[in-house]
């Protein structure tokens, strides 16, 4: 078909809305729409057409096809109307969905399940409460409460009845410490710094029974003391071991009352032996300094553990817990409690001192009869040039003088073990008994020589 303007009469299937103002104007055949006014914009025309459509709705014309004319029902067809509101073209969106969508079904199922679960749980709880059946969770049965004797629990069970807690009241202060029973007579061994200047001493046993105690004797140089309780039956003394048998790595158990928590049990190992340790010195004149050839342990020890037993795997006492090493005071991250550096007096030394304190109230110290230069910073212990009050540094006719020691000599070894300072020399000497022989290595005028010394005796403080 050629591209030209339609001038023929409109076909029968095309109709114009009735009531159009120019629908039957002169010069326009019937059924042909009036031309669009010049100057009218598309928008105006659209608006006018819409307004006209609203004023006079388009009507569809029913046309019977030949098939319909032979007895089939007529079908109303929607024809194109240029004045109508809707275009002829429409989007085929398919059949409209019916019923629930999948997500709606899932949500409904979840809600139903939750509701059913809640109702079921409530009914179950209600039935449980109303029933006579008692809820009982599974639990292990009662087992044998005994423990192997060498286990920590076994050692604690053996030793605890013989460990006591000491509450000490002084003139201006009070404190807590630990001790352990030595014999059936009621003698208890503890640290000197626990009972020093005590006016009243109370002893509490593991059973909770408390009695008063009296001081038998003490020695600040060894930091040991003995107190005694009377009228107490059923005492269980602890067995004393031999500290010479202790080796680095041996398991040990410490019992005490850290921060007044009585019957506290901790465990660890022997970290070192023969560790030179000095403690005390609060008076400033050196009379209260303790010199200990200590056993080092990592078993936690805290204030209140002092005087308590350090036990081996056979529950034998091998040491008396006495000191701990904390962080430096000027360290901002200083830890106040145990940092795994605890020290105990070897029981061999404690036994000898305890026996002397029980027997005489005082302990003796082994000595070599020299005055040491404690300001010496070199390696070894230097014998001073002069003693106190201008006396000779080497006591006349004393053990050192008889062995040939002279003023100014530097003692570098004791029985072959190196000595690094005056404190360490004192500790090495006090680890022995009066009358024991020792071998001293002395440096004099650049030459080393070996001297044999028999230890003398002096009364302790």
| Phi and psi at residue 321, to the nearest 5° | -60, 125
- Residue with structure tokens 């020695």? 219
Distance CA 52, CA 40 (A): 15
Distance CA 278, CA 220 (A): 11
Query: Which sign, positive or negative, has the C-alpha torsion 192, 198, 201, 205?
Result: negative
Straight-line distance from the first to the last Cα atom of the chain, in angstroms, rounded to the nearest whole number: 139
Both tokens of residue 433? 């008994």
SS3 content of the chain, % helix, strand, coil (to 5): 20, 30, 50
Dihedral angle computed from the Cα positions of residues 24, 28, 30 and 32, in that order, rounded to the nearest 10 degrees: -110
Residues tagged active-site: 193, 223, 306
Grouping H, G, I as helix, E, B as strand and the rest as coil, residue 278 is strand
Residue 400's Cβ-count burial label (10 Å; 0-12, 13-18, 19+) is buried
Phi-psi region of 156 (alpha: psi -120 to 50; beta: other; left: phi over 0): alpha
Contact 305, 254 (CB under 8 A): yes
H or E stretch at 212: strand 210-219
Distance CA 227, CA 229 (A): 7
**How far is C-alpha 304 from the geometric centre of its chain's CA atoms?**
22
Both tokens of residue 104? 């709606």
């Amino acid at each position: 078909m050629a591209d030209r303007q339609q001038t023929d009469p409109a076909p029968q299937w095309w109709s114009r809305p009735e009531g159009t103002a120019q629908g039957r104007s002169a010069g326009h055949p019937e059924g042909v729409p009036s031309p669009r006014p010049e100057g009218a914009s598309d928008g105006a025309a659209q608006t006018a057409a819409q307004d006209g459509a609203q004023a006079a709705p388009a009507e569809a014309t029913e046309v019977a096809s030949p098939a319909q004319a032979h007895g089939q029902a007529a079908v109303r067809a929607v024809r194109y109307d240029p004045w109508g509101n809707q275009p002829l073209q429409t989007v085929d969106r398919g059949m409209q969905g019916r019923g629930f969508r999948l997500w709606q079904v899932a949500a409904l199922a979840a809600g139903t399940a939750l509701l059913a679960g809640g109702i079921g749980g409530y009914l179950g709880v209600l039935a449980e409460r109303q029933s006579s059946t008692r809820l009982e969770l599974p639990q292990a049965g009662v087992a044998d409460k005994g423990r192997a004797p060498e286990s920590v629990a076994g050692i604690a069970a053996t030793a605890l009845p013989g460990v006591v807690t000491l509450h000490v009241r002084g003139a201006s202060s009070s404190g807590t410490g630990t001790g352990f029973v030595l014999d059936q007579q009621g003698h208890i061994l503890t640290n000197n710094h626990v009972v020093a200047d005590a006016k009243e001493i109370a002893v509490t046993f593991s059973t909770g029974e408390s009695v008063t105690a009296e001081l038998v004797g003490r020695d600040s140089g060894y930091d040991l003391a003995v107190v005694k309780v009377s009228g107490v039956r059923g005492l269980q003394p602890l067995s004393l071991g031999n500290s010479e048998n202790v080796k680095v790595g041996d398991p040990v158990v410490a019992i005490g009352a850290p921060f007044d928590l009585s019957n506290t049990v901790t465990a660890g190992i022997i970290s070192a032996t023969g560790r030179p340790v000095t403690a005390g010195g609060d008076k400033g004149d050196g009379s209260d300094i303790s010199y200990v050839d200590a056993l080092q342990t990592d078993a936690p020890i805290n204030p209140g553990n002092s005087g308590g037993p350090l036990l081996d795997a056979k529950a034998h006492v091998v040491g008396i817990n006495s000191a701990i090493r904390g962080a430096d005071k000027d360290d901002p991250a200083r830890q106040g409690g145990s940092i795994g550096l605890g020290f105990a007096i070897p029981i061999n030394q404690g036994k000898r001192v305890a026996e002397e304190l029980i027997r005489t109230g005082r302990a003796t110290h082994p000595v070599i009869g020299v005055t040491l230069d404690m300001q010496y910073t070199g390696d070894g212990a230097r014998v001073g040039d002069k003693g106190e009050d201008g006396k000779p540094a080497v006591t006349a006719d004393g053990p050192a003088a008889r062995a040939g020691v002279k003023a100014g000599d530097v003692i570098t070894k004791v029985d072959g073990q190196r000595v690094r300072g005056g404190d360490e020399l004192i500790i090495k000497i006090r680890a022995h008994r009066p009358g024991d022989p020792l071998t001293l290595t002395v440096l004099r005028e650049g030459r080393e020589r070996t001297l044999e010394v028999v230890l003398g005796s002096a009364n302790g403080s």
